[in-house]
Structure 1
Amino acid sequence: MKNKLLSLAVLLLVNFANHAQKVEFETYQLSNGMDVILHQDNTAPVVTVSVMYHVGAKDEHPERTGMAHFFEHLLFEGTKNIDRGEWFKIVSSNGGSNNANTTDDRTYYYEVFPSNSLELGLWMESERLMHPIINQIGVDTQNEVVKEEKRLRVDNQPYGKFLENVKLHMFKKHPYKGTTIGKMEHLDAATLEEFQAFNKKYYVPNNAVLVVAGDIDVPSTKKMIEDYFGPIPRGEDIVRNFPKEDPITETIRAKAYDSNIQIPAVVTAYRTPAMTERDAYVLNMLSSYLSTGKTSKLYKKMVDEKKMALQVGAFNISQEDYGTYIVYGLPLGDTTLDNLIAEIDEEIVKVQTDLISERDYQKLQNIFENNFVNSNSSIAGIANSLARYHMLYDDVNLINNEIDIYRSITREEIQAVAKKYLNPNQRLVLEYLPETEKAK
């Protein structure tokens, strides 16, 4: 009876997802190469204007790391027609909000306005692209801002260099070996001309997608987009040819030290395929199976039942060129790091050896159906998804049908993918230790 009820719940959720999450959109391209995506939703008087640029930390010169993230800050400094310090004032005084973020693969800027301020949002983003003021005053100001962010989020944050050390050992050739925030000495050494050259190369319309979503009139929106973005000159085409990583064929062992922690951690990390590959989706499901929620396999076993770990988790970092599958644990009491690894490996071997139960499989489907329903519950979320699917997946339709990929994944695939990627000879084992352990 329980299985029947569970199946009924899944069926109802699938039907709801199919109905609730259908996102209508229109795509086209300006003559300068800028891609445009429009999504009309007149249910609330709100509009999101966003631009995603295909530039991230992987595009930086290896001696100028942090440049892409730095630009996320620098391009709020001002433009030819927006004075320094006025950007945020203009947004807030018109009832809006805005933000930006950077990854290894892209940089994203957006404003959320009452729909009667749509033209203002378009003008501001066109100003950022066409008339940015990149001068020494702005560079010096944002240099201090970025340094403070690094101190707060990385240098003084417990386990703040966790991912940095994983990437350092997982990638020897590809620029994913660096961090998004970069090295401060690289930014200190950069000249004004280098910042200007970075802007000229990457902040061009043919390296961007503009998304306008919300309470819009499509014909008038198209006219405004043409008026504000159409005159911006096309830039040089960007050619990427990053080096390929050699396969990992034997265990990489490493240690890292953190002055901000007292409890050590252990990490096992595996290089996985790009986010567009089907196996990446399977690995996402596998990480949920192992560590999403208190009833997940690793948490229930190691935290709840055996009380070996304060925390344990698994997650797949999907990126444009490669992914990284990470499993980690923090020991409790006298548990050693080796014991943690052994218990984690035991659960992975179970997945490789036996099919997960039908009940656990249905639970996974519930999780991903729910994530799908929630992912586009706001206009800002829809704008982000449209930009991301276009730029990094080259398939905007994923906003509506990505869930079909998860629905089609079988228990046999989960087993096969675990066998393919999660093997001891294909991984990094990193001991992340308190600084006091360094002298021992």
Structure 2
Amino acid sequence: MKLIKSILLLLLVICLSNCKKSSPETNVSQEIKVEQHTDAAGFNYETVTNDPTGLRLYTLENGLKVYLAKNEEEPKIQTFIAVRAGSNYDPKEATGLAHYLEHMVFKGTDEIGTQDFEKEKVLLQQISDLYEQHKAETDADKKKEIYKKIDEVSFEASKISISNEYDKMISSLGAEGTNAHTWFEETVYKNKIPANELDKWLTVESERFSQLVLRLFHTELEAVYEEFNRGQDNDGWKSYAAMLEGLFPNHPYGQQKTIGTSEHLKNPSMVAIHNYFDKYYVPNNMAMVLVGDIDFDQTIQKVNKAFGSFEKKEVVHPVLPKEDPITSPVIKEVFGPTAESVSVAFRSAAIGTKEEKLLTVADMLLANGNAGLIDLNLNQKQVVQNAGCSPTFLNDYGYHQFYGSPKEGQTLDEVKDLLLSQIDKLKKGEFEDWMISAVVNDLKLSQTREYENNTALASAYYNAFIHHQDWKDKVEFLNELKKVSKQELVDFANSFYKDNYVVIYKRKGEDKNITKVENPGITPVELNRDKQSEFIKAFAQQETPPLTPKFIDYKSAIKETKTDSELKVSYIDNPNNDLFNLSIIFDMGRDNDRKVSLATGYLDYLGTDKYSPEELKKEFYKLGIDYYVNAGADKTYVGISGLKENLDAGLALLEHLWTNAVPNQETYAKYVDQIAKGRQDRKTQKGNILWNGLMNYGMYGDNSPLRNIYTIGELQAVDPQELVDKIKELRNFKQRIFYYGKDIDAAIASINKNHKVQSELRDYPEAIKYVEKETGGNVYFVDYDMVQSEMIFLAKGSEFDPNKMAASRLFNTYFGSGLSSIVFQEIRESKSLAYSAFSAYSTASEKGDSNYVYAYIGTQANKMPQAVDAMMDLMTNMPEAEEQFNAAKEATLKKIAAQRITKSNIFWTYEGLKKRGIDNDNREEMYNTIKDMTLEDLKSFFNENIKGETYNVLVVGNKKDVNMDALSKLGVVKEMDIDYLFNYEKKNEDIKL
């Protein structure tokens, strides 16, 4: 949220986005109110005047709220089904219940996921009874015996069940983003579907939410426990939990984690889960959100037909404890392997209060990513490694969290004090008068951009429902912020920010509170992927209106012109509003010149002969212009974005910086220190170690692009003037321009006026070419303090071939990606060996590079040998399931048919295609190829490209727990030094004598 706009211009943006004819002045004076309407079919709904989103809010007779909004840009609908019930509602003796129920809602009903429910329900009742015995039993040995019985009966029940039928049906629609989440006050189920599949989606969802059947219970429970382990390995999650515990010593916000406790997860009650579902999953406690290419009148009739018969029940929400005021700082410590940090949090009033409005403005004044007090005084001046703040507002309370990471040699208390010092500036009113209006306009423009995105808008709707907010209040919210005066904000800051905070010190060190777990030895359950319920058979017969794919003629969609200096300008008109993006593109990056990347990062901390660095940030912020100068591996971008009205002034300011940047030795020294500390921090992150360090080493060996960096000593020896000269000289290289926005003539005129270049532009330095190594026979291991182990199997494939893209896309859908894929079913659903497991045939992003086959497993260390065997068996012998293949094929075709490449994405997608040597929309060829593919074709693709591959195995895990002998069977084990992986220099304390 870095852009500021005047009120009138911002309102104009909103008007243009929604095709309204009224003038900005009319909108300013127009009263915001709720209006009642009746549609042609007799359904009542409400709208809000001056609502830029065009929401129609229906309430069915049974109380179900239905939020509908229309956007025809692509033939898709973002769907959410939200329930006002989350972890706050968990019984104290059964925490994690709401979250585990969320998982089980994917398992089907008496119609979905079963061959014979009458037989199956007898076994499910036995399992439920056994779990009640297991929960009540206190003798550990007897509990194990009961669990063995649960495992035995569950295996018998699995012979009748059919795994993943819900996922198969939803996937067959061409749905994307199928998932759900649980939080304090909500459980939300998500899908993005092709618009022509609404009827079939409603058929499935109305059945899914009609009742709860807890089949395949103990295998999914083990998957949830793996999710619990992932939380134990995430220092950020642990710090967050400690903050909540300090803020809310009585309320469930701080006392009941959404994932639940280990003890409660291991002692579940199916009876309690059923009771929870029956109590809260009722229509008058739920909302459906549909945003996209819909017809309002037809859609509400369909929703009513599918969900209108659900029975309304009285819902009694739990009465939750009140918190006493915090009167002195509460101190918490969290330990783990990642870099140190500190956070400070203040408890606030709930959502919908006056305090929410005041805190929202205060937060933006403190940190808006550009010109806030923390941005300018801490980040811009590099007095900390990084810092920021953000608010959260919930139904009962909220909180304002500040966070910071220390520079080398800086203590966490020093960072904390620096954060508090910025709050003191706010309390003293040490900010310019124009800032309040600026940040409100910044928020408004960000909201305008957000509401163009169906998923973001749908999320705003369901959040309003969960938090009992009238949409009118959401529409009015930013206008209410404009009424906040400087004095009112200063008075609020002085009354709100006192010694009433919680401070969390995240320190490096061993976490003594880790829960160690046993592998329960689950018998793999039957998947029965060759079986079908009667429901899914009928579902398959349900007709769907056809959806014709649309492909792009890039050469006509992307227009071209030239500047007076003969620079090529590619442009696309923005049909929605007055926002623009202007990028000057250099087809060279750090692979051509390492110092270009170093210089672009340094520029962000510099001022000019006219402006200090802080003043320059403020000038851009006043204009509402966001600027960027950054270098990737093969491209460097210099550009601006914002409201078209300020394009010329913004470009002039950018060119002023580009031409007149002044080097500063002290600033550069801090910049190098920041790079050094950043390296030390990143090497503590297991995800970075696995997916960057080990992945690059697995592909390239010693000479990887990741290791091609300057040493800190080399960086310290660089003259900062050389970097400024490097930036200034950049304009003398060959370049091209992309513009997305309105009025190309005005944009060209501004470029001609402000962006002066030489008549003869220089060619680029030759780029380094990194050689990909052959894979196989190597196990690269990094020892890391964690509960789980994570591993990637990596195999170099053949050189990129566009003719393989269709088969690889279908293969990934069928085999390795998604909830209904073969890998997910076998590794997680059947064997409960991992929370996350996937595989893919990855096509190269550039012509001449190699494709890769990879597979990932994240599991607790004592399951690793079985997980490895299971994955390697799949990567050698692809299971063949005709029905599943047909569903995957149908899903892939529907996703392509519903895809629309629009706006600036047209240009950037074409850029990616050209790197692969493709000059047309190859989706058309892929679509036609997939239409004719058979399972035998897919098997041939597997045999030719996956089967028999030899893998480099990349592993991050705790050496004390990992079975190293098992790893040695996969290849020669080499324990890697983290500093060597990244080519970092060791600090003195890292060197072991």
What TM-score, normalized by structure 1, do the two folds share?
Answer: 0.89
| Structure 1 SS opposite 2:107 | coil
Q: Name the structure 1 match of 2:90.
A: 60
The 1:437/1:66 distance shift into structure 2, 3 A limit, reads closer
Letter matched to residue 11 of structure 1: L
Contact 1:288 1:296 in 2 (8 A): yes
1:7–1:63 CA distance, 2 compared to 1 (3 A): closer
1:220 is matched with which residue? 298
Q: Secondary structure at the match of 1:346?
A: helix
The yes-or-no answer on 1:24 pairing with 2:54 is yes
- In the alignment, does 2:237 pair up with 1:133? no
Q: Report the equivalent of 2:443.
A: 368
One-letter amino acid of the structure 2 residue matched with residue 149 of structure 1: E
Query: Aligned letter for 1:29?
Result: T
* Offset of residue 355 of structure 1: 5.3
Matched, 1:171 2:239: no
Partners of 1:351 and 1:18 lie apart in 2 by 34
Question: Cα offset for 1:43?
Answer: 4.6
Task: Pick the aligned partner of 1:328 from 403, 423, 427.
Answer: 403
How do 1:19-418 and structure 2 match up within 5 A?
19-20=16-17, 22-83=52-113, 84-97=163-176, 98-135=178-215, 137=216, 139-152=217-230, 154-177=231-254, 178-252=256-330, 254-261=331-338, 263-305=339-381, 307-354=382-429, 356-418=431-493
> How far does residue 388 in structure 1 lie from its aligned partner after superposition?
1.9
Mapped partners of 1:180, 1:412: distance in 2: 40
For residue 111 of structure 1, give the secondary structure of its aligned residue in structure 2.
Answer: strand
2:235 and 2:249 map into 1 onto residues whose CA distance is 26
Larger radius of gyration: 2
- CA-CA distance at 1:50 after TM superposition: 2.1
Residue 79 of structure 2 aligns to a residue in which SS? Answer: strand
In structure 2, list runs of 5 or more residues that go unmatched.
19-51, 114-162, 513-993
CA shift, 1:301, in A, is 2.5
Instruction: Rate the CA distance shift 1:353–1:41 in 2: closer, same or farther, 3 A.
Output: same
Mark the CA change 1:174 to 1:115 in structure 2 (over 3 Å): closer, same or farther: same
Contact 2:343 2:505 in 1 (8 A): yes
- 3-state SS of paired residue (2:400): strand
% identical equivalent positions: 25
1:403-422 per-residue CA deviation (whole Å, 9 max, x = no partner) reads 32333333233322222211
Listed one character per residue, the Cα deviations across residues 231-253 of structure 1 (whole Å, up to 9, x for unaligned) are 2222332233111111112222x
Of 505, 508, 525, which residue of structure 2 is paired with 1:434?
Answer: 508
**Structure 1, unaligned stretches of length 5 or more?**
1-5
Contact 1:290 1:298 in 2 (8 A): yes
RMSD: 2.4
Output the amino acid matched with 2:212.
Answer: P
Q: What is the match of residue 3 of structure 1? A: none
8 Å contact kept, 1:32–1:206? yes
User: CA 1:14 to 1:26, structure 2 compared with 1: closer, same or farther past 3 Å?
Assistant: closer
- Contact 1:46 / 1:112 at 8 angstroms: preserved in 2? yes
Give the stretch that moved more between structures: 77-86 or 355-364: 355-364
Cα 1:60–1:249 shift into 2, 3 Å: same
Shift of 1:341: 2.2
1:174 Cα deviation after fit: 1.2
Amino acid at match of 1:13: L
Distance 1:212 1:437, change over 3 A: closer
Aligned mates of 2:89, 2:196 — CA distance in 1: 37
Preserved contact between residue 284 and residue 312 of structure 2 (Cα < 8 Å): yes
Please report how far the alpha carbon of residue 190 of structure 1 lies from its aligned counterpart in structure 2 after TM superposition: 1.5
Residues 53 and 207 of structure 1 are in contact (CA less than 8 Å); yes or no, is this contact kept in structure 2? Answer: yes
Partner secondary structure for residue 255 of structure 1: strand
User: Structure 2 vs 1, CA of residues 362 and 354 (structure 1 numbering), >3 Å: closer, same or farther?
Assistant: same
Letter in 1 for 2:406: P
CA distance in 2, matches of 1:115, 1:315: 36
- State the Cα distance separating 1:10 from its structure 2 match: 4.8
Structure 1 residue 8 displacement after superposition: 6.8
Whole-Å Cα distance in 1 between the matches of residues 389 and 506 of structure 2?
Answer: 16
Q: 1:173 aligns to what SS in structure 2?
A: coil
Seen in structure 2, the aligned counterparts of structure 1 residues 303 and 225 have a Cα distance that, compared at 3 Å, is: closer
Secondary structure at the counterpart of residue 63 of structure 1: helix
What is the identity, as a one-letter code, of the residue corresponding to 2:241?
Answer: E
Residue 397 of structure 1 aligns to a residue whose secondary structure is helix
CA apart distance, 1:116: 1.2
Residue type at the aligned position of 2:425: K
Distance, in Å, in 2 between the alignment partners of 1:75 and 1:427 is 39
Q: Partner of 2:391: helix, strand, or coil?
A: strand
* 1:160-183 alpha-carbon deviations (Å, 9 max, x no partner): 301100111111221111322222
Deviation by residue 1:54-94 (Cα, 9 ceiling, x = unmatched): 00111111222222222222211222333230222222221
- In 2, the alpha carbon distance for the partners of 1:437 and 1:55 equals 32
Aligned partners of 1:29 and 1:35 also within 8 Å = yes
Q: Deviations over 1:130-157 (max 9, x none)?
A: 033223x2x32222222222333x2112
Is 1:13 aligned with 2:4?
Answer: no
Q: What residue is the counterpart of 2:960 in the other structure?
A: none
Change beyond 3 A, Cα 1:399–1:87: farther
Q: Which amino acid aligns with 2:95?
A: T
Please give the per-residue CA displacement for 1:309-339, whole angstroms capped at 9, x wherever unaligned: 2221211121111001111222112222222
Contact 2:61–2:308 (8 Å) recurs in 1:
yes
CA contact (8 A) 2:335 2:511 kept: no
Q: Aligned in 2, Cα 1:399/1:299: closer, same or farther, shift over 3 Å?
A: closer
**Higher RCO, Cα 8 Å, sep 6+:** 1
Q: Structure 1 residues 399 and 361, CA, compared in 2 at 3 Å: closer, same or farther?
A: closer
Deviates more, 1:266-275 or 1:19-28: 19-28
1: CA distance, partners of 2:5 / 2:86: 44
For these two proteins, the number of residue pairs brought into alignment is 426
The answer to whether the 8 A contact 2:78-2:191 is kept is yes
TM-score by length of 2: 0.41
Displacement of 1:294 in angstroms is: 4.8
CA distance in 2, matches of 1:184, 1:404: 46
Residue 11 of structure 1: CA displacement? 3.2
Q: Counterpart amino acid of 1:88? A: D
Q: Report if the CA contact (8 A) 1:17-1:372 is conserved.
A: no
Displacement, 1:9?
Answer: 4.5
Q: Quote the Cα distance in structure 2 between the aligned partners of 1:59 and 1:319.
A: 14
Mark the CA change 1:16 to 1:167 in structure 2 (over 3 Å): closer, same or farther. Answer: same
SS at match of 2:385: strand
- Determine the C-alpha separation between the residues in 1 that align with 2:186 and 2:297: 29
